[in-house]
Amino acid sequence: MIPSLSFGRTGHQSVRTIFGAAAFWETPQRDVDATMDLILQNGINHVDTASSYAQSEKLLGDWIRRHGKQFFLATKTGERTKRAAYDQIRRSLDLLHVPQVDLIQLHALHEEADWQTAFAPDGVIEAVVQAREEGLTRFIGVTGHGVPVPSFHLRSLEKFDFDSVLLPYNQVMMQNPLYAENFNNLAALCKERNVALQTIKGVTRSPWNDVTQNRTTWYRPLEEQGDIDLAVHWILGNEQTFLNTAGDINLLPRILDAAHRFETRPSDEQMSQLSERLKMEPLFV
């Protein structure tokens, strides 16, 4: 059984493997339906999407229209100003066929100009607060990518009491001393404040570089079950973290299989051997 953990202070006992609906970018509806069957069969009770994930909200929403909302539902707005973000949130609710989502997240807030606009008067933070006051969402989070993101999240938590954060986390990324230090500082603050700590890019192998792209992920993922096991078990070995699954529905069964079999965290030596054998590279530098 996949382990679960209280999702911060929300009161939701979330399976620690959250389904990342970026995998529904432009997926045929029949494949979306089959994937939703798979995640429910595996006990997944938390789904994460975003307004910028192409057709994801629409495809997921069509399933919800027919089957009802059976899980904790999160989406994201990439807008930075109040009016645009509020309108986008309303559009997301329409596409998802729900009157309320559980979590709205400020998407990809990891650049200075965006950050300044988001927290300025008439910024996106005012839109998500209004959405919460109106019952359009229950909770508010923030996400980001790249090496600077944990430091941005630390700053964001100084400005606003977010319920969750989301950022990259894998063994290769944590070999960057600056990233590791800021990630660990962020994790400590999240633990202190009971903020949910979501992670992405968990099964990243490297950028695509010169390799022919054969997956719907924008990075080259791990593909063999044994390799995915090590990566997933390493992340779940941090008892504080949630793992958001990769954006490829064909990798999902292997990730879920690994999560079901989690017992202990692989050793540093095992992870180093994996990295050396596959010539793994950090996605962000």
How does DSSP assign the chain, residue by residue? Answer: ---EEE-TTS--EEESEEEEGGGGTT--HHHHHHHHHHHHHTT--EEE--TTSTTHHHHHHHHHHHH---SEEEEEE---BHHHHHHHHHHHHHHHT-S-EEEEEETT--SHHHHHHHHSTTBHHHHHHHHHHTTSEEEEEEE--STTHHHHHHHHHHHS--SEEEEE--TTGGGSHHHHHHHHHHHHHHHHHT-EEEEE-TTEEE--TTSPP-SSSSSEEP-SHHHHHHHHHHHHTSTTEEEEPPS-TTTHHHHHHHHHT--SPPPHHHHHHHHHHHT---S--
Measured distance CA(56)–CA(19) in Å, rounded? 12
- Cβ-based burial of 224 (10 A; exposed 0-12, middle 13-18, buried ≥19): exposed
Residue 170: name the closest of 179, 160, 157 by CA: 179
- The count of other CB atoms within 10 Å of the CB of residue 63 is 21
The reported pLDDT for the residue numbered 262 is 98
Q: Along the chain (285 residues), what's the average pLDDT of each consecutive run of 10 residues?
A: 97 98 96 98 98 98 98 98 98 98 98 98 98 98 97 98 98 98 98 98 96 94 98 98 98 98 98 98 94
The reported pLDDT for the residue numbered 149 is 98
Residue 172: name the closest of 270, 266, 283 by CA: 283
The reported pLDDT for the residue numbered 55 is 97
Measured distance CA(178)–CA(186) in Å, rounded? 12
> Exposure pattern of 148-182 as b/e (b: 16+ CB <10 Å)?
bbbbbbbebbeeeebbbbbbbbbbbbbeeeebeeb
The reported pLDDT for the residue numbered 216 is 93
The reported pLDDT for the residue numbered 181 is 98
The pTM for the full model equals 0.97
Cβ atoms of 145 and 168 closer than 8 Å = yes
The reported pLDDT for the residue numbered 245 is 98
The reported pLDDT for the residue numbered 77 is 98
The reported pLDDT for the residue numbered 54 is 96
Cβ atoms of 114 and 155 closer than 8 Å = no
What superfamily in CATH does domain 4-278 come from?
NADP-dependent oxidoreductase domain (3.20.20.100)
